[in-house]
């Protein structure tokens, strides 16, 4: 018996479709939205309140806000619900919108 694998057997590859790998914050739609919503960058940050039973809390309580005084995005503790619109999940999102 010949136990040598044929070249055809070695070229079988499994391909996995992982979808688009584009950054959603770099889309034209996001850029247009962020430029029109820059007024939220002037709002004072607000820690909000604890979410009620029927409200979904964010993934994390650490959020970013834009400090108009310091002209940069800063980290703060967000209670989960309510508060001002000057609140971002990531520093990059904050910077793309406000900086």
The pLDDT tens digits of the residues spanning 10-37 come to 556 666 655 555 545 455 444 444 445 7
The pLDDT tens digits of the residues spanning 48-74 come to 999 999 999 888 899 999 999 999 999
Domain of 32 in residue numbering reads as 24-51+59-98
Here the CATH number for the domain that contains residue 70 is 4.10.410.10
**Range 83-92 average pLDDT:** 95
pTM of the predicted protein model: 0.60
User: Is 3 within the bounds of a domain?
Assistant: no
| Phi, psi at 18, each rounded to 5° | -100, 10
Query: Count of domains in the chain?
Result: 1
User: Is 69 within the bounds of a domain?
Assistant: yes
User: Is 9 within the bounds of a domain?
Assistant: no
User: Is 75 within the bounds of a domain?
Assistant: yes
pLDDT at 79: 94
CB-based burial, 10-26: b 16+ in 10 Å, e otherwise: eeeeeeeeeeeeeeeee
User: Is 18 within the bounds of a domain?
Assistant: no
- Whether 99 contacts 72, CB under 8 Å: yes
């Amino acid at each position: 018996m010949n136990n040598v694998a044929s070249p055809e057997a070695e070229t079988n590859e499994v391909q996995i479709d992982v979808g688009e790998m584009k950054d959603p914050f770099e889309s034209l739609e996001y850029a247009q939205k962020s430029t029109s919503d820059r007024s939220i960058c002037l709002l004072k940050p607000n820690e909000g309140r604890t979410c009620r039973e029927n409200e979904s809390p964010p993934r994390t309580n650490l959020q970013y806000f834009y400090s108009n005084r310091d002209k940069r995005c800063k980290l703060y503790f967000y209670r989960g619900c309510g508060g001002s619109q000057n609140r971002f999940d990531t520093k990059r999102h904050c910077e793309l919108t406000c900086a």
